[in-house]
Copies of this chain bind each other. A is one copy, B any other.
């Protein structure tokens, strides 16, 4: 129904199960594509360049940043991950919706470039549960725990930039919610100006037939 594709961003605190929700949602909806990320990390067994990721060296990645080729990029455990801007722009221009599964700070970068992007905060259960999970990781060092807490605090603070929350207490329920958000956004009249005009103008100058 949309002329121009809609950009959806699935994001939220680590361990929220965003990837699983994304895969489930993709099996249920048409006309939506995932953007293939660029990464500097080594391919794992079975991963194909251009399908799972675009695998690039650190130098190549740095060059892409230099060229302004990224919609967003983040560094995570010494590896870098980024979303190529041109790919997303081409898909949207062709009328296809695009969904990105990225980190919260990547999501805030996307929002600056695409203010009409729909940011969905996928979060594991409630914040209490999140706190408990952080405490439970008994095998970690104090430094590692402190770092993890710091990251979680930063991630949660980003919630203010999001339009929707999809609580992942239950995978099926969270998938339903995410699917509903995508379906609803597609039917927003503000995203379908031509359709709106069509209805308003259609009968405007019509005369009754005898």
Cβ of A93 within 8 Å of any chain B Cβ, yes or no, is no
Residues of B close to A166: CB separation below 8 A: 187
Chain A, interface size category, equals 35 or more
Which chain A residues in 146-168 approach chain B with CB under 8 Å?
Answer: 146, 149, 152-153, 156-157, 159-160, 162-167
Taking the full assembly, how many copies of this chain does it contain?
2
Is A49 on the interface with B (CB-CB < 8 A)? Answer: no
Task: Name A207's closest neighbour in chain B (CB-CB).
Answer: B149
A166–chain B nearest beta-carbon distance, Å: 6
Cβ–Cβ < 8 Å partners of A188 in chain B: 163-164
Q: Which one of A17-25, A77-85, A105-113, A197-205 is at the interface? A: A197-205
Contact B146 A203 (CB under 8 A): no
Residues of A within 8 A of B (CB): 1, 121, 123, 126-128, 130-131, 134-135, 142, 145-146, 149, 152-153, 156-157, 159-160, 162-167, 176-177, 179-181, 183-185, 187-190, 192, 195-196, 198-200, 202-204, 206-210
